[in-house]
Amino acid sequence: MLVTGGSRGIGRGIVLAAARAGADVVTCYRQENDYVTSLEKELAPLPGTHHVLRADVSVAADARRLAERAKELLGGLDAVVNNAGDFAPTPYAELTDAAWATALQSNLNSTHQVTQTVLPLLGAGASIVNFGSTVARIGMAGGVHYTAVKQALVGLTRSLARELGPQGIRVNTVSPGRIATEALDELPPEVAAQQRAMFSKFNALGRLGTPQEIANVVLFLISDQASYITGQNIHVDGCV
C-alpha cells in the first residue's frame, strides 16, 4: 500500500490505521521534521513492513522515484492513497499566477503523477483513493484555487474509474470536511478553541471529524467489502 503525504494529519491517520490492520505501507513526506521521526517510532512495533521515504510528489521526478522504491520494497501495490496536497488561503483578487500554479501542482498534478507512475504495479482488485474536499461542493471564500483543483480531482477519479475498471482497478474520491489534526493543536489555545467552535457549527453532528474517521472510510474503500464501489465521491463531513 502506498500513501502519499503520510507524516501528518489525515495521511498519518491512514498510514497508522492501515499498518494496524496488517497492511505493508510505504509513505512519503516532503521535509524532515519531528512528525517523521515520531511516525517511524509508532510504526516500528506494528506488524508488517513499513517505509517512510522522503519525496515531494508534486515533482514528477520524485513521483517516479517513489514508484520505483515502492516496487523495490513491496513488489507491487494493491492500494494507492493520493493524500498529499497543500492549501494557502488567498482572496481571489490577490491570487497570483504562482499561487494558482502551486495549488494545481501540489494537489492535482501530484495525484496524476503518482497514479500514472504506479499503474504498472497495480493488478486486478487494486484500489486507488484520491482526496477531494467538501468545500469543492459548497465553495469557499479565499479558496477559489483550492476548490477548483479539488473539483477537478472528482472528474479525474470518475474518468479513471471508467478507464481502469476493465482491468479490475477501482478508483474513488474521499472528500473530508473539517478534521481535527495537528494543525489545530499548533495554534494558540484560544484560537484553536474558537476554530473548533466555529467549524463545529457547520455540520449536523456539531463537531470536527478525526483522522481515524477518515481512515476508516479509506480502509473500507480499498477492501473487498467495497468491491462494487468505483467512480464515487464519498463525503465524510458530518453533513455540511
Q: Tally DSSP H helices, then E strands, for the chain.
A: 10, 7
Catalytic-residue membership of 146: yes
Contact 4, 62 (CB under 8 A): no
* Interatomic CA distance for residues 11 and 212, integer angstroms: 10
In the structure grid, which three cell numbers stand for residue 227, read together? 468491491
Helix/strand/coil (H/E/C) assignment for every residue in 134-156: CHHHHCCCCCHHHHHHHHHHHHH
Contact 107, 175 (CB under 8 A): no
In the structure grid, which three cell numbers stand for residue 68, read together? 520505483
**Interacting residues of 39 by C-beta distance below 8 A, sequence separation 6+:** 6, 7, 12, 15, 16, 27, 52
* Interatomic CA distance for residues 12 and 7, integer angstroms: 5
Which of 29, 35, 92, 146 is catalytic? The answer is: 146
Q: Cβ–Cβ contacts within 10 Å for residue 28, how many? A: 28
Q: Which residues pair with 26 in a beta bridge?
A: 2, 51
Q: Cβ–Cβ contacts within 10 Å for residue 86, how many? A: 14
Active site residues: 146
